[in-house]
Amino acid sequence: MSLFSALSVSASGMSAQRARAELLVENLANSETTRTPEGGPYRRKDAVFATEAQPSQFASMFQDELGTGVNISEVVEDTREPDRRHLPGHLKQSDKVRVRLFQQRRAGLGGKPFMIYKLRTMVNDAEQRKAQLAPLNEQDGPAFKLSNDPRTTPLGRFLRQTSLDELPQFWNVLKGDMTLVGPRPLPVPESNACAAWQRRRLYVTPGITCIWQIYGRSRVSFSEWIRMDLRYIREQRLIEDVKILLLTVPAVLMRRGAR
């Protein structure tokens, strides 16, 4: 097969995938949401998306890579550990020195939830304390961003500023949940709270980096963030993906907009 033919086939596949995603987003926007028990399926009328993760498989993939000092066994969704009542005030020693894996439900292609993997950067009860910090939110729209977040551990602050906490997401890429370049996936509640025009970002597979990582991050409004994502979708080409990947390197090294 010639290069031209291969590119034509690839383009046709991407167009078909986007068409299916657009139809799914439209159907989801007009349907009712049925909440289910933790870890159960996520239903919107006729659509049922499995949300159960397979932490044991993921842990085995990364055990050798991350070393014996990493507590892989504590792969949890959001926060699933006992509430430590003495926080805030000071952090347990374990939060200061241990690197653990963290998983969270994010909205993927067409709004389908999937489990994203990161290195844990916050204390174990971070999600419970989020409601207390909501009045301090520095990001408009449904997203939550906060400079000097008191839930972030000292090691976690370094991981976030250098974007090293995103490394496990290459496993999401291998699984097909994400790509290298694409709009960053939002947590499911934040994605569901987006306006209809903002949910058009779900027309493509989410990625590790995109235009927002290079030029925006914490420095732009939520609407500007979404417009950057939609601009990427309109101009999506292989050469643009390569350009974004190359520009991501200095953006990460210079820690532009990192919190």
Please choose, from the candidates 205, 141, 129, 128, the residue with its C-alpha nearest in 3D space to the C-alpha of residue 173.
205
Unique residue bearing structure tokens 């926080």: 87
Look at strands 71-77 and 47-49 and give their pairing: unpaired
Q: Say how far apart CA 50 and CA 109 lie, in whole Å.
A: 14
Residues in a beta bridge with 152 = 122
Given this model, what pLDDT does residue 98 score? 62
pLDDT at 55: 42
122 Cβ neighbours under 8 A, 6+ residues apart: 149, 151, 152, 153, 156
**pLDDT for res 28:** 60
pLDDT score at 204: 96
* pLDDT in 10s for each residue of the chain, 259 residues: 544 444 444 555 566 667 667 666 666 655 544 444 444 443 343 333 333 334 444 444 444 444 444 443 343 334 344 444 444 444 444 444 466 899 999 999 999 999 999 999 999 888 888 888 988 888 888 998 888 899 999 999 999 988 999 999 999 999 999 999 999 999 999 999 999 999 999 999 999 999 998 886 767 889 999 999 999 999 999 999 999 999 999 988 887 756 5
pTM tops 0.75: no
Instruction: Please choose, from the candidates 116, 68, 74, 65, the residue with its C-alpha nearest in 3D space to the C-alpha of residue 95.
Output: 74
The confidence score (pLDDT) of residue 110 equals 95
What pLDDT, on the 0 to 100 scale, is given for residue 66? 42
What is the phi/psi pair of residue 136, to 5°? -95, 0
pLDDT score at 30: 59
